Amino acid sequence: MGAAETDDDSVFEQYRDRVDRPLGRLFREYGTPELHWLAVGMFANVLARAASLLPPVVLGVAIDAVFLDRTDYSLLFLPTRFVPATETDQFWFSVALIVGAFLATAVLTWIYGVAANNFAHRVMHTVRVDSFEKLQSLDMWFFDGKQTGEVMSVLDNDATNLERFLDNALQNSVRLGVMVLGIAVVLFAQNPQLAALTLVAVPLMVGFTWWFMRTVEPRYTSQRESVGDLNTRLENALSGMQLIKTSGTESYESDRVRDASFAYFRDTMAVLRLNYLYRPGMELFAGLAFATTFLVGGLWLTTGTAPGPLTGTLSAGEFVTFLFLTQRFTAPLAEVSNIVDSYENAKASSERVFGLQDVPRRITDADEAVELSDPDGRVVYDRVRFGYADGDPAAPGDDDNSALSATGGSQTRAADLDPVIDDVSFTAESGETVAFVGPTGAGKSTLLKLLLRLYDVDAGGISVDGHDIREIETASLRSAIGYVSQDAFLFDGTVAANVRYGRFDADREAVVAACEAAEADEFVRNLPEGYDTRIGERGVKLSGGQRQRLSIARTVLRDPAILILDEATSDVDTETELLIQRSLDRLAADRTTFVIAHRLSTIRDADTILVVEDGEIVERGEHDELLARDGLYAKLWGVQAGEIESLPETFLNRARERRAETVADDD
Ligand code: ADP
């Protein structure tokens, strides 16, 4: 719970608060197609409970009619023509009824269990898949926040909460209703006066439950908080183990963990003390009802007259039925607190589920979006401006909360205050290589994320083959672009499956050819099972250089017209670097390629080099031109440390001054 409840979950909350009657919506949207399961489950449940009430009633009747021979054999709703005539037959009839009732209870309970679970789990299966699909379609800004934990808990905890409610709580409340009502009907039918006396316990037990829930709730809240604190403490300490050891603060950390753990212990005991009061309390009420019934019924039977203000008669059989049934309403009533708890949880969980489902998509295809088929890859940035909005760029509560239109875009976005990209224009002709150089945080990656349309520009526009990317089908735009980054992500699965990812129809020859082009074939063949070796969590671990070559192979196989190479500082050895560079050069040869370069040596031959600083292009040209110009690029080249981040601050300042001069010159 820790992460889910402590994070600033503003985006979720905004949509969550607008969810109207979430459980009703859950039934409407997801329950309807599965209602037959619910109906069968409820019906079997009602019958099972009713059948379970039968044996004590039969016993009572048998005592009166068969053993004591006081009355005729008459069962509540059973027409007399079904009842056998002789006492022996009536005895066997009773035995058959009792066995039949137990059998029916067993079979019906099984049916209700299967049906109710089918309902709950089918509903939740659909909810889970739907929520995941919705989640995948959400824009990047949604994932930029710290919401992974919370999103995960929607698909995990919240789904479990709802499952529990739909299955247990719903059926337990049916059981509760049937038992209390059924017992009341039977008792009142037999002896209304004694029934009234016995059933006084029910409202008392409900009142007790209400008191219990009100008292325990705040204790549960503190318990949840303290377990969250404890987990945070432990996680923190474990991930900071190196710091703890190097600063010698073990005993300080132990103290902190001890305090957090003790707080959790204390809060848990506060809950448990009360919890252990509840069951016995409920049993005490039931016991008092039992004792009262026994006292009053016993006096009634032994004296033969109704005690006190009571009137009428009571038979021994009725007395036995009363005593048996009095004990039967404790268990279902004790479920009340669980049912209410589960209901509250389910309400909150379905709010979260629908809150997630209601987050709108901003980046959608325009109505008449064109498909980018067989693109040439000419890319033009025209006075592009962009800033990361803080969270939902058009959250509810804003003046304009309609989705940003696919073209245009709001003019009052974060970019106006603090643009990450400011007035960037350049053109990459088909097949050209454009390299971006500049300090960390300058905006190089952001520029290329805009091309992938992970975010929409705030002003200006980006076009591919003459189409503004907001007028291109997003799927076809993205499939025209290959993205190779240093921290290549590989899924758990075989090498071949990972290379094939995104082009699932590729055959083995194509996969091998792609790996050869990516200089990966050799190391793959040396893996225990070659192309069928499992990598990732349960398989072989690969080095950074190997992962990157697989990711290059994946891109080779996809054969995109446009390529983005995010060449982050790598710590691969020189030989591997050469291999990677060779395969990248091969990959880039006939495509429009954008390189985010850290090693300037790799981009010497680029058609255009753009030097980016603070979201603006401060120098542009070919390598030789830029060197001749003796500006920031020339200095960077001179340092040749490769890693611009390591430049001394004074140097960067001088570069900025020079930039100011250049801008002035241009004017
Ligand atoms: P570079 O690739 O040149 O290192 P980036 O494009 O990654 O730079 O980052 C440019 C600026 O945008 C930085 O100030 C960075 O902190 C900020 N930034 C990057 N990604 C996000 C994001 N998802 N949300 C908010 N700000 C971001």
pLDDT at 657: 55
Q: What is the pLDDT of residues 122-175, one digit of tens each?
A: 999 999 999 999 888 888 878 776 556 677 878 888 888 899 999 889 889 999
The reply to whether ligand 1 has any atom less than 6 angstroms from the CB of 440 is yes
CA 362 from chain center: how many Å?
Answer: 21
The reply to whether ligand 1 has any atom less than 6 angstroms from the CB of 443 is yes
The reply to whether ligand 1 has any atom less than 6 angstroms from the CB of 598 is no
Q: What is the pLDDT of residues 517-528, one digit of tens each?
A: 888 899 999 998
pLDDT at 518: 87
Q: Are 499 and 550 in contact (CB under 8 A)?
A: yes
- Residue 615 CA: nearest ligand 1 atom is 10
Q: Are 448 and 497 in contact (CB under 8 A)?
A: no
Cβ neighbours, 10 Å, residue 272: 12
Q: What CA dihedral angle connects 394, 395, 399 and 404, to 10 degrees?
A: 20
Please report the DSSP string for 129-169 in residue order.
Answer: HHHHHHHHHS-HHHHHSS-HHHHHHIIIIIHHHHHHIIIII
- Residue 140 CA: nearest ligand 1 atom is 23
The reply to whether ligand 1 has any atom less than 6 angstroms from the CB of 597 is no
How far does the centroid of ligand 1 lie from the alpha carbon of residue 443, in Å? 6
pLDDT at 228: 87
pLDDT at 644: 44
Place of tokens 């291999």: 579
Domains of the chain: which residue ranges? 16-357, 377-417+437-479, 485-598, 612-667
pLDDT at 647: 47
The reply to whether ligand 1 has any atom less than 6 angstroms from the CB of 569 is no
Rounded to an integer, what distance in angstroms lies between the CA atom of residue 590 and that of residue 567?
19
Rounded to an integer, what distance in angstroms lies between the CA atom of residue 458 and that of residue 412?
9
The reply to whether ligand 1 has any atom less than 6 angstroms from the CB of 644 is no
pLDDT at 41: 94
pLDDT at 664: 47
The reply to whether ligand 1 has any atom less than 6 angstroms from the CB of 441 is yes
The protein residue with its alpha carbon nearest to ligand 1, atom 15, reads 441
Q: At what angle do helices 170-190 and 192-199 cross, to 10 degrees?
A: 140
How far does the centroid of ligand 1 lie from the alpha carbon of residue 387, in Å? 9
Share of the chain above pLDDT 90, in %: 44
Q: Are 487 and 378 in contact (CB under 8 A)?
A: no
The reply to whether ligand 1 has any atom less than 6 angstroms from the CB of 445 is yes
Q: Which of 330, 291, 324 is nearest to 98 (CA)?
A: 324
The reply to whether ligand 1 has any atom less than 6 angstroms from the CB of 645 is no
The reply to whether ligand 1 has any atom less than 6 angstroms from the CB of 594 is no
Q: What is the CATH number of domain 16-357?
A: 1.20.1560.10
Rounded to an integer, what distance in angstroms lies between the CA atom of residue 511 and that of residue 175?
59
How far does the centroid of ligand 1 lie from the alpha carbon of residue 457, in Å? 14
Which residues is 621 bridged to in the sheet? 609
- Residue 436 CA: nearest ligand 1 atom is 3
Q: Are 144 and 388 in contact (CB under 8 A)?
A: yes
**Tokens, residue 554:** 């994946």
| Reported pTM | 0.76
Q: What is the pLDDT of residues 69-110, one digit of tens each?
A: 778 888 877 888 888 888 889 999 999 999 999 999 999 999
pLDDT at 568: 56
- Determine phi and psi for 441, rounding to 5 degrees: 85, 5
The protein residue with its alpha carbon nearest to ligand 1, atom 13, reads 441
pLDDT at 660: 54
**Tokens, residue 360:** 């709108």
Domain covering 485-598: architecture: 3-Layer(aba) Sandwich (3.40)
The reply to whether ligand 1 has any atom less than 6 angstroms from the CB of 444 is yes
Query: What is the separation, in whole angstroms, between the first and last Cα of the chain?
Result: 57
The protein residue with its alpha carbon nearest to ligand 1, atom 23, reads 144
Place of tokens 């409820």: 42
The reply to whether ligand 1 has any atom less than 6 angstroms from the CB of 485 is no
- Residue 566 CA: nearest ligand 1 atom is 2
- Determine phi and psi for 297, rounding to 5 degrees: -65, -40
Pocket test for ligand 1, best of 138, 144, 146, 446 (most atoms within 8 A of CB): 446
pLDDT at 146: 54
Residue type, 490: L
The reply to whether ligand 1 has any atom less than 6 angstroms from the CB of 286 is no
* Residue numbers in the chain where pLDDT is lower than 50: 1-8, 396-415, 641-648, 650-651, 662-667
The protein residue with its alpha carbon nearest to ligand 1, atom 5, reads 443
Percent of residues in the chain assigned helix, strand, coil, to nearest 5: 65, 10, 25
- DSSP 8-state secondary structure symbol assigned to residue 18: T
How far does the centroid of ligand 1 lie from the alpha carbon of residue 83, in Å? 85
Place of tokens 């697989």: 550
pLDDT at 116: 93
pLDDT at 648: 47
The protein residue with its alpha carbon nearest to ligand 1, atom 24, reads 388
How far does the centroid of ligand 1 lie from the alpha carbon of residue 594, in Å? 17
